[in-house]
Structure 1
Amino acid sequence: GAAEVGQWLTHSPDIAKVSFTGEVGTGKKVVASAASSLKEVTMELGGKSPLLVFADADLSQAVSAAMLGNFYTQGEVCTNCTRIYVHRSVYQQFIEELKTRTEQNIIAGNPLDPKVNFGALISKKHQDLVMSYIDKGIAQGATLLTGGKTLSPESAPNGYFVAPTVFIDCRDDMTIVKEEIFGPVMSVLVFDDEDDVIRRANDTHLGLAAGVFSQDIKLAHRVIHKLQAGICWINSYGNSPAEMPVGGYKQSGIGRENGIETLDHYTQTKSIYVGMGNIESPF
C-alpha cells in the first residue's frame, strides 16, 4: 500500500532526495523517516491562509478572490484563503455580496457538465470530516451565512458533496478558524486596526499563503511584507505561474517548488580547486 511505498522511499539509501506535498502530520513523518539516511527533503504542506480586505478595497474583486480561494476545487487546495479578515467599515457590504454570489453563481454537479463549477469531495470519510468541522463552528458560536449541509445533485447522485459554506461572527480561537479543513468552508472575521490584523493573521503555526486587497499599493506592500507566508498576492488570489516559487513559512513546509529556486533543492554543489604551481607549505 501507499504507506509501505512511502516508507521505502524515505528509508532507501538509493534515493537521495524526497519531495512531498500533503498534510502537516504526514510531512513530519516523512522528515523523521528521511532522517535515517539524512536525505534532502523539500515539502509543501498545509495552510490556514489569511486574506485581508481593507476599507478601500475593490469589494467585488475581493469577493471574487475569497470565493476562488475557498470554493475552487471544492476547497481541496492547500493555499486556500480560509480566513477572510474584512475591515469593519465594509464588512456588511462584503458579506451581503458574498452570500448573494455564493448562492446564485455556484452550481454543483457532474464536472463534465460545462455549466457546473463545483464538484464533489474526495471521499465519504472526508465529507464526514468537513461536516464535523461545520458542526464545531455552529457549536462554538459562529453564524452560518450560507451552506452548512451536504448536497446530492441530480447529475452526480453518488458524489460526496458539501455545499459552499460561509461562517460569519467568527473568532480567532474557534476550531474552524485555527485548523485546516480542506473543504469549502470559509470563515469571515472583522478587523479595525492594521497592526492588530497582521498580528492575528500571523497567529498560527502555518504560513503557506496570504493575500491583501487595497487600492493603496504602499499599504498593500507594507502589510504583505509583514505577513508570515511564502506565497502572497495583492489584489488577486491563487494565480501560480511556473516561475513563481511556492512554499511555506513555519510548519507549512521546507524549501520551494517552481521558479529558479526549485533547482537549488535538486543540485549538489561540488567545489574543485586545481593547483597550478608548487604547494606553499611550511612542511
Structure 2
Amino acid sequence: MTSVTSVTPTAPSDAAGQTRDILDPATAAVIATVPEHTAADVDAAVARARAAFESGPWPQMVRSQRAKLLLRVADAIEDNSERLFRLETRNNGRPITETRAQLSRVPEWFRYNAGLLAAQRNAVLPGDGPYLIYQRRRPLGVCGIITPFNHPMLILARSLSAALANGNTVVVKPSELTPLTTLALADILADTGVPDGVVNVVTGAREAGVALTEHPDVAKITLTGGTEAGRSASVATAARFARMTAELGGKTPVVVFDDVDPTVAAEGAAFSAFIAAGQSCVAGSRFLVQRGVYAEFVDALAARAATIRVGDPALPETQMGPVISARQRDKITALIRTGVDEGARLAAGGTTPDLPPELRDGFFVAPTVFADATMDMTVAREEIFGPVAVVIPFDGEADAVAMANDNLYGLGAGVWTTDVGRAHRVADDIIAGMVWINDHHRLEPSLPWGGVKESGTGKDAGTESFDDFSWVKTVVVRTAATPVDWYGTSPDTRLN
C-alpha cells in the first residue's frame, strides 16, 4: 500500500488525520490512502488558486509561452504513459488494453488547446462612423473541475487543458474512488513548470464537491457525474451567476435497421455496451432493433457477451474488468433482478462470472443481455451504468426515432444502417448531443462533447469548451479628429 497526499496546503483535515482508503476494484485490496478533504480544505485550495490568478505569472504569461508549456506537459505525459496506464487500471479496474488506448490520447487535448491558444484571434467588429471596435478575451479566474471514476484522467484533461490554455487557475476534485492518476498528473504539471498554485487537487467525497460548487470565488464549474449531482451544482452556480458545464447521465439508444448484417451490428453493439464494463455515460444500453433482424441480433449479441474474457484488468488478455465498487455491483445486480421480475428474458449473463480465488472479492458483473424487453421496463428506462444491454424490437423508422427519444436523457446515440439517406435522417431526428453512425464512442479533441435534456448543459472539448473558459470584453475606440459634443449644436445620434 502506498500513501498519497494532495497538492493543496496542509489543512485541518490533514492535521486531524482524516483519510480515505483507495481500493483496487479487482481484489478489494487497499492500494493507497489519501486525505479526506473538507469544506475548509476546499476553501484553502481556492484561496491558493485565487492568489495564483491575481498575483502569479500564469494569467499574464505571453500566449506563446503558455502554449509552449502545455506542449511540454503533453510530452511529459507521454514520457510517463506506462506508469499512468497501470496506475489507472489498478485504481478503476479497466483492462490495461482499454486504459492504454484511452490514456495514450490524453496528450492530444493539451496539444489541441495549445494550438487553439497560439492561433487565437481577437475579433474586429463592424460599426458605423469613426470607430474601431474590437474584442479581447480574458480568463475567468478560478475554475473548479469535478471528475468521475470511469475516465478520470481523460475527462480531466479535456477541461484542464482548455482552462489552463486560457490563463485560468484550477481546483480539481476527482472522484473519491479514483484520485490516483489525478494526483500523478498534478506532480507532472509541477515538474514541467506549471507555476505553484495554478493547479490544486482536493481529494474527498460529497462535502468537498459541494464546497467547490458553492464557493463564491469559483467562476466556473465543469462537472461530469450523475444527473442529481449536476442539478445541485447547477443551482449553486446559478445563484452566483457562475458558469457551468455538466456532462451527466445517459441511456443511449442504439438503433439497428434490418438492412445491416445483424452479426456485424452486434459486434459493434458489444463494444458500445461492454467497454469500461458499461460504466460510461454514452454506453450503448438500449438496443432498438428492427424486427426483421431482431432474433439474429439477439443471438449474436448474446454469443459475443458470453465470450468476453472477464478477469484481472492488469493482464493483456482480459477484455472486461470489474465495476468500480461493491455498491455499484450491488446496484447493477439489483437492476438485473428487476429486469427478470418485470418479464425481460436473460439471453446472456445475469450472474457473477467464474473467477480465480484472488479475484473473488472483486466487484465483477458478467456481461448481461436482456431480450424481449419493452419500453416501460425499468432496465429500459433507468441508467444502469454497468455491463447490461437491453434489446427491444421496433417496426419502422418513425417508430425507432420515437422510441429513441422516449427518455429523460439526450447524451449520445448510435445508428446502424447501410442506407445513407436514412442514416442522416435518423441522426438528425434523434435528440442527443452526439450521434455515431455504424460505430460508437469515437472522440477527438475537436469534437464538442455534451448532451441535452437531463444529460447536461454546455460542451466539453472543441472550440466551444475552449472559448467558454474566457469572457469577452468589447472595446470601442473613437478615431475621429473632432471631439464628441453631445450637448452642442450637432449631437451624434448614434450615441442614443
The residue that corresponds to 1:6 in the other structure is: 209
> More deviation in 107-116 or 151-160?
151-160
Q: Which amino acid aligns with 2:352?
A: T
**C-alpha displacement at 1:70, in angstroms?**
1.1
Q: Which of 99, 104, 124 lines up with 2:326 in the alignment?
A: 124
Distance in 2 separating the partners of 1:239 and 1:111: 22
Q: Is 1:27 matched with 2:217?
A: no
Partners of 2:468 and 2:304 lie apart in 1 by: 42
Q: Distance in 2 between matches of 1:176 and 1:47?
A: 13
Aligned residues of 1:152 and 1:158 also touching (Cα < 8 A): no
DSSP-derived class of the 2:213 partner: helix
TM-score w.r.t. length of structure 1: 0.96
Q: Check conservation: 1:127, 1:161, Cα contact below 8 A.
A: yes
Q: Which amino acid aligns with 1:114?
A: P
How many Å separate the matches in 2 of 1:279 and 1:218? Answer: 60
Aligned-partner SS, 1:268: strand
2:86 matches 1:86: no
Native 8 Å contact 1:58 1:214 kept in 2: no
Give runs of aligned pairs for residues 46-195 of structure 1, distance below 5 A: 46-104=249-307, 106-154=308-356, 156-195=359-398
User: Which residue in the other structure is 2:484 paired with?
Assistant: 279
Q: Report the residue type matching 1:21 in the other structure.
A: T
Distance 1:231 1:12 in 2: 31
Matched AA of 1:92? A
* Matching residue's letter, 2:373: C
Contact 2:263 2:296 in 1 (8 A): no
Following TM superposition, by how much is the alpha carbon of 1:40 offset from its aligned partner in structure 2, in angstroms? Answer: 0.3
Contact 1:198 1:227 in 2 (8 A): yes
Amino acid at match of 2:423: A
Instruction: Using CA pairs under 8 Å that are at least 6 residues apart, name the structure with larger relative contact order, 1 or 2.
Output: 1
How big is the shift at 1:281?
2.3
Q: What letter corresponds to residue 167 of structure 1 in structure 2?
A: F
Unpaired segments of 5 or more residues in structure 2? 1-203, 489-496
- CA shift, 1:219, in A, is 0.5
Runs ≥4 residues deviating over 4 A: none
Q: 1:238 matched to which residue of 2? A: 441
Deviation at 1:280, TM superposition (A): 5.6
* Counterpart among 389, 394, 400 of residue 197 in structure 1: 400
- Aligned residue pairs, count: 282
TM-score (norm 2): 0.56
2:213–2:236 Cα contact (<8 Å) kept: yes
CA distance in 2, matches of 1:183, 1:70: 8
The residue matched to 2:328 in structure 1 has which SS?
helix
Please tell me whether the aligned partners of residues 344 and 373 of structure 2 are also in contact (alpha carbons under 8 angstroms): yes
**Residues in 1 aligned to 2:261 and 2:438: alpha-carbon distance in whole angstroms:** 8
SS at match of 1:90: helix
> Is 1:224 aligned to 2:456, yes or no?
no
**Is the contact made by 1:52 and 1:84 (CA closer than 8 Å) also made in structure 2?**
yes
Query: Which residue identity lines up with residue 320 of structure 2 in the other structure?
Result: F
Kindly provide the amino acid, as one letter, of the partner of residue 385 in structure 2: F
Name the larger-Rg structure.
2
Specify the SS of the correspondent of 2:312.
Answer: coil
> How does 1:243-254 map onto structure 2 within 5 Å?
243-254=446-457
Q: Write the letter of the residue equivalent to 2:343.
A: G
Q: Percent identity?
A: 38
Paired with 2:207 and 2:346, the residues of 1 have a C-alpha distance of 41
What CA distance in whole angstroms lies between the structure 1 residues aligned with 2:485 and 2:409?
53
CA distance in 2: counterparts of 1:212 and 1:141, whole angstroms: 26
Name the aligned partner's letter for residue 209 of structure 1: G
Distance in 2 of aligned mates of 1:261 and 1:10: 21
C-alpha separation in 1, matches of 2:372 and 2:314? 36
Deviation digits for residues 34-76 of structure 1 (CA, Å, limit 9, x no counterpart): 2232110001001001000001113233112211111111110
Asked whether the equivalents of residues 110 and 119 of structure 1 are also in contact (C-alpha less than 8 Å), the reply is: yes
Q: Does the CA-based 8 Å contact 2:214-2:233 persist in structure 1?
A: no
CA distance in 2: counterparts of 1:243 and 1:268, whole angstroms: 20
* Aligned partner (choices 189, 208, 214) of residue 411 of structure 2: 208
Q: How many Å separate the matches in 1 of 2:465 and 2:271?
A: 26
Distance 1:87 1:210 in 2: 16
